[in-house]
A and B are shown apart, each in its own frame.
Chain A
């Protein structure tokens, strides 16, 4: 029998419907693959094989009676940030030790309602703060990709490093992820997978551990553009439990795939050509432009003048919101408690032990910029800059641009425990330089694998769309995918 874990979601869906395979067989193949690979790659922080087989059995019954949902019997990995009822949910943190919610996040509930099967919870940077998956309490995830002729371990990117690595290593058919500054798109680019951060308000944030509430959005990481479209259709919804969930019906994203690009105008922003960017990335970008042009799109140069201020503004807004959101981890209501001589001492010791270095750093920055006397100089100023960043995009869209093409990241995957990045937190932050603008403006963005660098590592391109126009991203992303081909990591684990 062929390897069932090699099937895309679309392929598995067809075979399940045709009764060529069963959900139990498919799920069993993934459980086996995870068992064989997880010690080497450290991707799953919690495995739920019994629950998976039970869900698969239900799916098989529904498939047999013709009641199959859109994702019936499709085994998925879930980022540890999503609340899953009765199942390990710790956001990659020590401070949430033992936390098993008594509720289910709206996004995962939507997936289960459509018949998907849960394989387990995926490793991630602690509270989604990181670009390498190294801030996880559970240790770093290894990227399934290695440079040609090298056995050096590389990071899968972050914060959704476990999600991206799981999809790349075929340890799930698709994965949920979240993106606050690039946490879906950067790991997707580092692992040769497709990741889409939808428009702010498209997926409900209810039941997802909060990092920076005005920036956080859930989205899928998948093996190809079609699978990403299938997953987003199920994840997205209008949810009364999230006041920022927008009341617009979810379209059939898959229907956008294969539509011609005639009449589509793609903007190329000159500000995304940054100093020190490798020649290969510039070349890839030019290649992407050529592919879209060949497919009938018109290409225009545009300017997004406030681009360079997005990352500094983000490092005020995101930590400020995080310091407020993470105030709830006090050793009283859930997770870790470290005893102290009085209640304040208990809080301080619990948070000192429970939070990792990067989380402490961001909570401290956030507390500082929100403290008396500094609010106007930092937070208010950053929110004004954010208005300008959004206006840059609005101007481009008003001028007729349908989508914007940029590189996804300024480099390919780097090594685990990179010395330069460890010494200077700002260096790590620069990973998100091309993705963070999208969160600041609340727009949808997709990362699509577009080629390999000279060392054989994946590189991605990013398409940025108008609010709630994910369809154009799938449409144009598919054109890039058709031209570039798909990339699978050679198995070494």
Chain B
């Protein structure tokens, strides 16, 4: 499978990355080189093979559903580009 210019634009938007026409042109070639490389997997017969979900054969640990951390809003927003009174500030979303 390969991608065309309009697919690359659609994927860039899904990935929330702004791209110029020149970017799209260059990326189309590079993404197709990578997709061409991974096409080798078509040679492998995977009938009846389970997809891997965990690389270690160990059941995921569980813990009690209890609050054991928190109350540190100031720490959470400390690295935000813009914050006010422990809120993240973003451009207006709702009209």
List A residues at the B interface (Cβ < 8 Å). Answer: 98-102, 199-201, 214, 240, 243-247, 306, 308-309, 311-313, 315-316, 323, 327, 330-337, 339-340, 342-349, 351-352, 355, 360-361, 363-365, 367-368, 371, 374, 377-378, 380-388, 390, 424-426, 429, 440-442, 467
Flag whether B22 is at the interface (Cβ < 8 A).
no
Flag whether B51 is at the interface (Cβ < 8 A).
yes
- Contact (Cβ within 8 A) B31 A442: no
- Contact (Cβ within 8 A) A348 B56: no
Q: Provide 25 A-B residue pairs closer than 8 Å at the C-beta atoms, listed in order of the A residue.
A: A101-B79, A102-B75, A200-B55, A201-B56, A240-B63, A309-B40, A315-B34, A315-B37, A315-B38, A333-B88, A337-B82, A343-B93, A345-B18, A346-B91, A348-B16, A355-B17, A360-B17, A361-B34, A371-B14, A384-B44, A384-B52, A385-B46, A388-B44, A426-B34, A442-B55
- Contact (Cβ within 8 A) A384 B27: no
- Contact (Cβ within 8 A) B51 A200: no
Residues of chain B lying within 8 A (CB to CB) of residue A348: 13, 16-18
Q: Which residue of A lies closest to B26 (CB)?
A: A357
- Contact (Cβ within 8 A) A340 B91: yes
Could you tell me the distance between the alpha carbons of A316 and B41 in the complex, rounded to whole angstroms? 10
Given contacts A315-B38, A342-B91, contact A384 B46 (CB under 8 A): yes
Residues of chain A lying within 8 A (CB to CB) of residue B88: 332-333
Could you tell me the distance between the alpha carbons of A66 and B34 in the complex, rounded to whole angstroms? 57
- Shortest beta-carbon distance from A130 to chain B in Å: 14
Query: Beyond A313-B38, A333-B80, A348-B17: 6 further Cβ-contacts under 8 Å?
Result: A312-B38, A315-B34, A339-B91, A374-B1, A384-B49, A385-B44
Flag whether B71 is at the interface (Cβ < 8 A).
no
- Shortest beta-carbon distance from A372 to chain B in Å: 10
Given contacts A378-B38, A425-B34, A426-B33, contact A330 B61 (CB under 8 A): no
- Contact (Cβ within 8 A) A309 B44: yes
Residue in A342, A351, A368, A378 whose CB lies within 8 Å of B18: A351
- Contact (Cβ within 8 A) B11 A312: no
Flag whether B67 is at the interface (Cβ < 8 A).
no
Chain B 51-77 residues near chain A, CB threshold 8 A: 51-56, 58, 60-61, 63, 72, 75, 77
Could you tell me the distance between the alpha carbons of A346 and B14 in the complex, rounded to whole angstroms? 14
List B residues at the A interface (Cβ < 8 Å). Answer: 1, 3, 7-8, 11-19, 27, 30-31, 33-35, 37-41, 43-44, 46, 49-56, 58, 60-61, 63, 72, 75, 77-82, 88, 90-93
Could you tell me the distance between the alpha carbons of A343 and B94 in the complex, rounded to whole angstroms? 10
Could you tell me the distance between the alpha carbons of A429 and B53 in the complex, rounded to whole angstroms? 24
- Shortest beta-carbon distance from B21 to chain A in Å: 13
Given contacts A200-B55, A425-B33, contact A367 B15 (CB under 8 A): yes
- Shortest beta-carbon distance from A89 to chain B in Å: 10
Residues of chain B lying within 8 A (CB to CB) of residue A441: 55
- Shortest beta-carbon distance from B2 to chain A in Å: 11
- Shortest beta-carbon distance from A192 to chain B in Å: 30
- Contact (Cβ within 8 A) B52 A390: yes
Residues of chain B lying within 8 A (CB to CB) of residue A101: 79
Residues of chain B lying within 8 A (CB to CB) of residue A330: 16
Residues of chain B lying within 8 A (CB to CB) of residue A315: 34, 37-38
